[in-house]
Amino acid sequence: MRLGIESDSLNKGSYGRFGENVYKKLAALGYAASDFNSADTDTELYTLPFEEVEAILLKEKALAAEAGILIDQVHGPWRWPCRDFTEEDRAERMEKMKKSIRIAAVLGSENWVVHPIMPFGVEEAGTPDAEKTWELNVVFMRELLEEAKKYGITICLENMPMLDFSLAKPEMILKLVEEINDPLFRICLDTGHVSVFDDLDLAEETHRLGKYIRVTHIHDNKQNRDLHLFPMFGRLDWPSFAKALKDIEYDGVFLLEVNPPKTLPDGLFEEAGVTLSKIARHITAEI
């Protein structure tokens, strides 16, 4: 199975500290793929004219290709606390998300990851607002899908870690994907987000989502919070998850959404990076 990791190439505290060597560093650790994070809409990716953004992205694409790294996915805009409450808020999100899809197209990535919008916040499960959340997400995602189709990009809707949000659990993400009913609208399975729910089993959720899983975000948790721990540092059952991926014949990338702590100096950061890659290889050895 191909291994991947978030490159965090624009974050100087993480792998971005290695500048133009970031993808060579990842390749040396045994990774074949990465993601590209375009979640923060206050960066130059969104503030510069797109012609200048395109030049930045083409350089990024060339550096990855030179190192033999596939940019497997691009993470779309995300802000916290959420701000999707008004039509104006959602229109602003839509504009930024469409730009992010163009970013994925320039990078040559076929997968674009997005979170559900949260027009009534994240504590509306079991209230009348949950139905409205569903309806607004269906409309929103269908519009995004039309943009993604222009570039042949698959939108991957991610399960979330908010305990009282109606569209958090994989079961609800699956229902929304089935409602949209398009081959370019699939699922990003986030393992750590599954773990925040005491009543969910990762292997069972993997079997539930099955063929709809297009990409993964791999990390661990030990509490009902989104901690992004190294795999095997939390409470998830990794052998059963690996078996489930094999059972459903998942052929995508096993992509880590965790890095060594960016507070570490370079030498310790690299040692921790070696450990993380060994953990990923151990988990996926039988797939």
Instruction: Provide the phi-psi class of 26: left if phi over 0, else alpha when psi is between -120 and 50, else beta.
Output: alpha
The percent of residues in the chain predicted with pLDDT above 90, rounded, is 97
What long-range pairs does 20-28 form, CB within 8 A, spacing at least 24?
A: 20/63, 22/63, 23/63, 23/64, 23/66, 23/67, 23/69, 24/66, 24/67, 25/270, 25/273, 26/67, 26/69, 27/67, 27/68, 27/69
SS3 237: coil
Residue type at 125 in one-letter notation: A
Q: What pLDDT is attached to residue 148?
A: 98
**Number of C-beta neighbours around residue 260 at 10 A:** 18
Q: 102 and 76 in contact (C-beta within 8 Å)? A: no
CATH number reported for the structural domain that contains residue 146 in this entry: 3.20.20.150
pLDDT at position 12 is 82
The count of structural domains within the chain is 1
Using pLDDT thresholds of 50, 70 and 90, give the confidence band for residue 13: confident
Q: How confident is the model at residue 99 (pLDDT cuts 50, 70, 90)?
A: very high
Q: Is 139 helix (H, G, I), strand (E, B) or coil?
A: helix
pLDDT higher than 90, residue 135: yes
Q: What is the mean pLDDT of the chain?
A: 97
Which tens digit of pLDDT belongs to each residue from 144-183?
A: 999 999 999 999 999 999 999 999 999 999 999 999 999 9
- What residue ranges in 161-256 does DSSP mark as E strands? 185-190, 213-217, 254-256
Q: How confident is the model at residue 223 (pLDDT cuts 50, 70, 90)?
A: confident
pLDDT at 34 over 90: yes
Instruction: Tell if the pTM clears 0.95, that is, is over it.
Output: yes
What tens digit of pLDDT does each residue of 107-120 get?
999 999 999 999 99
Where does residue 116 fall: left (phi above 0), alpha (psi -120 to 50 degrees), or beta otherwise? beta
Instruction: Work out the angle between the directed axes of helices 170-180 and 129-149 (0-180°, nearest 10).
Output: 50
Identify the CA nearest to 22 among candidates 34, 261, 113, 229: 34
Q: How confident is the model at residue 136 (pLDDT cuts 50, 70, 90)?
A: very high
pLDDT of residue 124: 98
Residue 123 has pLDDT above 90, yes or no: yes
Q: What's the confidence (pLDDT) of residue 11?
A: 84
Domain limits for position 124:
3-284
Q: Encode pLDDT of 43-77 as tens digits.
A: 999 999 999 999 999 999 999 999 999 999 999 99
